[in-house]
């Protein structure tokens, strides 16, 4: 089974929409007098651009294909977690092996 | 979109809002809503959806699988850190228990691994590329907007009394035993 170019572009635009939506929510929730409200503009524009890309390329309906591509991005992100866990496991091994040795007096 | 799918997406939005508010810290009053929203989002994500479409069902099952092995992994990591001499009281029993829990979580990951085809890998890589591209573009947009605002005004210079106060504080802090210059 092959994957065509328009499907790849849809997946990339889904990823952009996912991260931009998260940043929009984050900026909107944490907005305070030290932030510029203009920062909200870039995530909105990115989500709009992703939606437009999906509208141009999808064959099964814009909304469902937008949902599909965002869902694929979440699944791809979740599939990375074992890699993070492996890196953490190595760090924990180093902590266990290197810091639990009995420490002798270095100078007397 | 039917109700269950709407519940799933709303729960994810609630989780994102809760996380953002929680990360604001205690100096902002709205941060107190962060943890309750996280709890409501998590509970509605796990408990409420019943019949989901293909895409949402895939999201739901992947996150539930993540929770299944991530929870023992985090608990084990906390135990190992608390039982190591660097971060807590050294304890061989705690270390053994922590590593057993971490080992159990890796067994769960191994047992629940799905077969992966090259199409899946290409699709996942495209999605991840999109996520990274989104992060980079938002960063560029946010830094450009921060630069465009600029300084509103310069602060006024210190008055003679304020200047004397600052001088006194610096003299007390840096002057040592009081016999310096």
Burial per residue of A16-41, b for 16 or more beta-carbon CB atoms within 10 angstroms, e otherwise: bbbbbbbbbbbbebbeeeeebeebbb
Q: Which residue has tokens 């084990």?
A: B76
Pairwise CA distance, residues A88 & B81, whole Å = 11
B130: closest CA among A22, A90, A37?
A22
B154 domain residue, yes or no: no
CB contact under 8 A, B142 and A46: no
Mean pLDDT by runs of 10 across the 181 residues of chain B is 80 90 82 87 83 81 88 92 82 87 89 74 82 89 78 75 90 68 49
> B65 and B40 in one domain?
no
Q: Which residues contact B46 (CB under 8 A, 6 or more apart)?
A: B64, B67
* A17 interfacial to chain B (CB closer than 8 Å): yes
* B135 located within any domain: yes
Q: Are residues B109 and B62 in the same domain?
A: yes
- Residue B140 domain-assigned? yes
Measured between alpha carbons, how far is A2 from B53 in angstroms, rounded to an integer?
24
Q: What are the residue boundaries of the structural domains of chain A, listed by start?
A: 5-99
Q: Are residues B60 and B102 in the same domain?
A: yes
Domain count, chain B: 3
| Spatial distance between the Cα atoms of B9 and B32, rounded to a whole number of angstroms | 23
The tens place of each residue's pLDDT in chain A, 108 residues long, gives 566 777 788 888 888 888 888 999 998 888 877 777 778 888 888 888 888 888 887 777 777 778 888 888 888 888 888 888 899 999 988 888 876 555 555 444
* String of DSSP letters for B132-176: HHHHHHHHHHHHHHHHHH--S-PPPPPPHHHHHHHHHHHHHHHST
Taking contacts as CB-CB distances below 8 angstroms, the residues of chain A near B31 are none
List pLDDT tens digits, range B14-29: 999 998 888 887 778 8
Based on the domain organization, do B81 and B129 belong to the same domain?
no
The answer to whether residue A94 neighbours chain B at the CB level (below 8 Å) is no
Query: Chain B residue with minimal CA distance to A9?
Result: B126
Do residues B62 and B99 share a domain?
yes
According to the model, what pLDDT value does residue B155 have?
74
Contacts of B137 (CB under 8 A, 6+ apart): A16, A20, A42, A46
Range of the domain at B122: 118-145
For residues B114 and B171, what is the distance between their CA atoms, to the nearest angstrom? 68
Q: How many CB atoms lie within 10 A of CB A108?
A: 3
Whether residue B139 contacts residue A21, with contact meaning beta carbons closer than 8 Å, is answered with no
First to last CA, chain B: 76
Report chain B residues whose CB lies below 8 A from the CB of A34: none
Q: Please indicate, yes or no, if residue B166 is contained in any of the structural domains.
A: no
> What is the rounded CA–CA span in Å between residue B169 and residue B66?
54
- Nearest by CB to A12, which of B69, B85, B130? B130
Does any CB of chain A come closer than 8 Å to the CB of residue B115? no
Q: Is residue B171 part of a domain?
A: no
Helix (H) or strand (E) holding A39, with range, is: none
Contact partners, residue B109, CB within 8 Å, separation at least 6: A82, A85, B69
């Amino acid at each position: 089974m092959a994957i065509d170019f328009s499907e790849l572009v849809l997946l990339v635009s889904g990823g952009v929409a996912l991260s931009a939506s998260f940043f929009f929510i984050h900026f909107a929730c944490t907005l305070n007098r030290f932030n510029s409200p203009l920062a909200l503009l870039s995530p909105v524009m990115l989500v709009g651009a992703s939606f437009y890309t999906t509208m141009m390329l999808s064959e099964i309906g814009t909304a469902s294909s937008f949902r599909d591509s965002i869902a694929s991005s979440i699944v791809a992100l979740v599939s990375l977690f074992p890699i993070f866990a492996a890196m953490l496991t190595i760090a924990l091994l180093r902590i266990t092996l290197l810091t639990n040795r009995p420490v002798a007096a270095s100078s007397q | 979109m039917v109700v269950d799918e709407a519940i799933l997406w709303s729960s994810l939005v609630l989780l994102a809002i809760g996380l953002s508010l929680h990360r604001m810290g205690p100096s902002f009053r709205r941060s107190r809503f962060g943890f309750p929203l996280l709890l409501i989002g998590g509970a509605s994500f796990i408990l409420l959806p019943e019949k989901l479409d293909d895409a949402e069902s895939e999201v739901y099952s992947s996150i539930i699988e993540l929770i299944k092995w991530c929870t023992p992994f985090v608990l084990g990591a906390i135990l190992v850190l608390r039982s190591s001499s660097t971060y807590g009281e050294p304890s061989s029993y705690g270390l053994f228990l922590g590593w057993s829990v971490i080992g159990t979580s890796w067994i769960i990951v191994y047992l629940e691994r799905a077969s992966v085809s090259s199409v899946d890998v290409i699709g996942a890589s495209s999605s991840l590329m999109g996520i990274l591209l989104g992060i980079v573009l938002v960063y560029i947009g946010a830094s450009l907007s921060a630069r465009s605002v600029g300084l509103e005004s310069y602060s006024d210079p210190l008055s003679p009394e304020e200047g004397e106060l600052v001088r006194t504080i610096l003299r007390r802090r840096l002057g040592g035993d009081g016999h310096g210059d």
